[in-house]
Amino acid sequence: MPDHLALVTDSTAYLPQDAADRHRITVVPLSVVVGDEVLTDGVEISPKDVAEALRAKRRVTTSRPNPETFAAAYRAAAEAGATGVVSIHISAELSGTYEAALLAAAQAPIPVQVVDSRLVGMALGHCVLAAAEAVEAGLGPAETAAAASRRADLTTGFFYVDTLEHLRRGGRIGAARALLGSALAVKPLLHLSAGRIEPLEKVRTASRAIARLEEIAVAQAAAAGTEVDITVHHLAAEDRAEPLAERLRERVPGLRELSVSEVGAVIGAHVGPGMLAVVVSPRLSNSLV
C-alpha cells in the first residue's frame, strides 16, 4: 500500500489477518466486559470464551475503544509517513466506535476521514477491502472513503439468532423489539437497515430460518448483476455454517470469493451462540475504484 494514505478499521470488521497484513490495515480493538473483567476483543477473549460465558448466564457487555486508542493509531500512521488516514467503522447506530474515531480525528496531526459504514462483520470488512483497492489504485482520501461508502451501499447482511435475549440485553434490538412478545414461538430473521438491526421475517423452526437465509442470499446475489463476495458468519455453529456455505457455492454463479468465519467476542456477546449470518457484497466495477 502506498505510504501516503493509511487505513484504519476496528475489530468488528473480522478481516482475515492475512488481508489486514497484506494491505497494512490497522485494526483497533473493541472490548468485552465479562463480569467486572475488561478483555480485548480477539486478544484476551475468543468467540468460544464469550459463547461459554453467555451459556453460563454471566453478565457480558461490550465497550468501544477509547478515543486515545484511535489517536495513537493516527499518530503512528503520521510517524510512518502517511499524509492522510481513512478510518472505516462499525455502524454508529450499534456502537460508539465511530464517535470515538471522530473525536480522535479532530486532534490528529494529519487529515483523517472517518466513515460510518452502517454495517458490521465482513459487511464492514468488504468496505475496508474496497478502500484498500482504491488506495492501491492511487486514489486519494476522498475517493477512497467514497469507494468504501459505495460498497457499503451495495452490501447486505441477514442473520438468524436462536434467541433475541442477548440483543435485548445489549440494547441493540431496535425495531426488532416487536418480536419479543412471540420470541418463544418463532425463530427471527433479522437484517441491517440504515445501520440498525431490524426484523425481516418470522419463521417457526431453525431449519426453516436457515433455508430462508440461503434463499435470500441467492436472490441478493442474482440481483446484484455483478460478481459478489459472500461471507457466512456464525457463533458456535460451524455445523450450520459450513453446509450453508457449500450450498451457496453451488447456487451463486457470480460468486467471486466465499468464506466462513466465526464472529468475534464483541458481536458474539450481542447475538449469542447459534447465530448464523450471510453477508452478500457486490464487487465495485473498475471504473468506481
Q: Give per-residue pLDDT as tens, 227-236.
A: 999 999 999 9
pTM of the entire structure? 0.91
Residue 279 and residue 157 in contact, taking contact as beta carbons nearer than 8 Å:
yes
pLDDT(163) > 90: no
**Sheet holding 25-28: strands in order across?**
25-28, 5-10, 84-89, 112-116
pLDDT(159) > 50: yes
| DSSP element (H, E) containing 33 | strand 31-34
| Cα dihedral 211, 217, 220, 223 sign | negative
| Whole-number pLDDT of residue 258 | 97
How many Cβ atoms sit within 10 Å of the Cβ of residue 226? 12
| Whole-number pLDDT of residue 181 | 44
Phi, psi (degrees; rounded to nearest 5) at 208? -70, -35
Tens digit of pLDDT for each residue in 196-221?
Answer: 988 888 888 889 999 999 999 999 99
- Give me the mean pLDDT over the 29-41 stretch: 93
Q: Which ranges constitute the DSSP H helices of the chain?
A: 17-22, 47-55, 67-79, 97-105, 122-136, 141-154, 165-170, 206-224, 238-251, 265-271
- Band the pLDDT of 182: cuts 50, 70, 90: very low
Tens digit of pLDDT for each residue in 96-140?
Answer: 999 999 999 999 999 999 999 999 999 999 999 999 999 999 999
Higher pLDDT, 184 or 262: 262
Q: Are strands 276-282 and 156-160 parallel, antiparallel or unpaired?
A: antiparallel
pLDDT(47) > 70: yes
Report the mean per-residue pLDDT for the chain.
90
Residue 116 and residue 149 in contact, taking contact as beta carbons nearer than 8 Å:
no
Least confident of 28-32, 65-69, 202-206: 202-206
Residue 130 C-alpha cell reads as 474496497
- Give me the mean pLDDT over the 12-22 stretch: 94
- Band the pLDDT of 173: cuts 50, 70, 90: low
What domains, with CATH codes, occur in the chain? 5-28+65-153 (3.40.50.10170), 156-288 (3.30.1180.10)
Tens digit of pLDDT for each residue in 241-272?
Answer: 999 999 999 999 999 999 999 999 999 888 88
Percent with pLDDT over 70 in the chain? 91
